[in-house]
Copies of this chain bind each other. A is one copy, B any other.
């Protein structure tokens, strides 16, 4: 199976697959002509990484998960620890974005948004009620 077909199968672009090989995340065999050659187990791994990435795991975390995926004797607690850490990160990001949304939402709500220059958003970003001094 060439890289193009593998890409179709796992949902990752060929460039990304080569990149993952480049950084040592996944390896691939080579056919006689020098082309990368993928088997079904390779596709499983690629898909595993694709799903992990889409769930927000970094490439470094995917590397860990992949080794846990391969090691059939690891404790499920090892996997759960990584996932819970990631859950915490997601929660923190949501909280941060929510706070951001509130602040920006206030600014937007108070801006009349017409063709007059007076703008509470700019004033808010300026940190005072005046905007830039005029001269």
Give the residue name and chain of the B residue nearest to A130 (CB).
B44
Pairwise interchain contact B97-A101, C-beta atoms closer than 8 A: no
Copies per complex? 2
**Least distance between A59 CB and chain B CB atoms (Å):** 14
Pairwise interchain contact A121-B76, C-beta atoms closer than 8 A: yes
Contact stretch, chosen from A12-20, A21-29, A30-38, A84-92: A84-92
Q: Is the interface of A mostly helix, strand, loop or mixed?
A: helix
Known contacts A77-B114, A83-B111, A111-B83; A98 and B103 CB within 8 A of each other: no
Which B residues lie within 8 Å of A112 (CB)? Answer: 76
Pairwise interchain contact B65-A83, C-beta atoms closer than 8 A: no
- Does A129 sit at the interface, judged by CB under 8 A? no
